[in-house]
Structure 1
Amino acid sequence: MPSYAIIGGSRGIGLEFVRQLALSGDNTVFVTVRNKQKCTHLQDTINKLPHKNVHVLEADVVDKQAIKNAAAEVSRITGGSLDVLIYNAARLEFENILRGLLDYDSEEQLDEEFVQSLKVNVLGPIHTVNTFLPLLRKGAVKKIIIIGSEGGERDFVRRVHLSETAAYGITKAAENMVATKYAAELESEGFTVVSVSPGLVDVSSTYSELEPPPEGSVPKFKVIAKKFYDAFPKTRSLTPREAVERLLVYIESIGPADSGSFKPSLEFDTSTQ
């Protein structure tokens, strides 16, 4: 019975991972969220599933003790093992995610956003992998999947002329290196550790609980979107279902020979090149 832990699954891509994986009664699915009571989309999804194989764990990735508690609960339920860890958490604070390096109102604001992004996008996966590693070592699959982004890849940023999303992109670049470091560290143990991008995914249907975007942010987002479509005119946004379906096919197909790689979403469809 394969076991999966989705780190960050209350909405968007993470929520769809939970839904699709839990459709198989053979799977045991764990999902971490920051606040169980506020996860209405997740609870609605679980209520509609045919099997009772989803375990919701409350754990913020910046809270190391909470992550340890979540791993202990996974261990209790599975008997001490985990097959696949999918780190999907990311800092997506709407107002700051659109800012370039020259767009902050103060040096203090810039520092704060970079520190918070580092905690979630870099230290978050490090502490999570370290905590769950004893369970993964006893698993049958030994796969660690970091949900990354082209926004952290130099060639993509240059092609799109993407000066915005500075804190997000820089810390996601570091997150890709986190996956590579673990791939090197765990190579002799037969692990597969990769970073993969889901692509441009429309997750608006499960973000209705959030406050409206800050004033002036929508035009900035449209500017960024235009840069992307100008650089990749044949591409289109995906639904969460489409994105996760192809991600799961990829996750199932990879093995130790792929460890340390980054899979851009654009490689899934060569027509976008």
Structure 2
Amino acid sequence: MMIEVRDLNVTFSSGKRQNHVVRDISFSVARGETLGIVGESGCGKSTVLRCLSGMEKGWSGEIALAGRTVGKSRSLDDLKCAQMVFQDPYGSLHPRHRIGTALAEPLRAMGRQEIWRTVERSLRQVGLPAAFANRFPHELSGGQRQRVAIARALILAPPILLLDEPTSALDVSIQAEILNLLADQRDEMGLTYVLVSHDLAVIAHMCDRVLIMQDGRFVDELSKRDLQDGKTHDDYARELFEATFI
């Protein structure tokens, strides 16, 4: 398995108040598989991605990536293993940094050589001209910015990509382009994806298997055939499915 999670819990505290946002969840993702996690806003799905990426430290349980158990503090190799694409392609790029600088940052952090050649190659990989390295984020369209965000996630050649609503901030006309780009990269490089979304239509387009999340727990699991047939095994999952497709 490329990803294995056992008994994951996350609780946020504010004074005496506690919010148990992820509750005893377990799942695994095979190499080359795309797993979807879908649910309403605030159900805990993005927190799961943050735990996998190493951004969230306040978790308990067990996480293994590419066959190696990881902790709350990650080595460079651990961090390189799983990279994240965020929801807002403008908010995830520094507005005063040129695109080339944004792409070079992870390479420098890992002590890589031939940085600018790699930056240019990564831009071409996602269908952008190498000359875009000299542009600022505000000079790019939303779809182009998300392509840059994907290039930045791929530039260290991670085996795992964590996708947090990667198309929800984009126009509908651009969403399909980004989803097709992600599918092409997955197929060409044998990548493993975890895709978080509130949109079952996006999930159905991309995923081999889907976990339905409600109030920090997984309440249903759907195969690709289940999605195609409209078959669910839980009342909440059925309501979510009907709200999306009917």
TM-score, structure 2 as length reference: 0.34
TM-score, structure 1 as length reference: 0.32
* Structure with more helix by fraction: 1
* Structure with more strand by fraction: 2
RCO higher in structure (CA 8 A, sep ≥6): 2
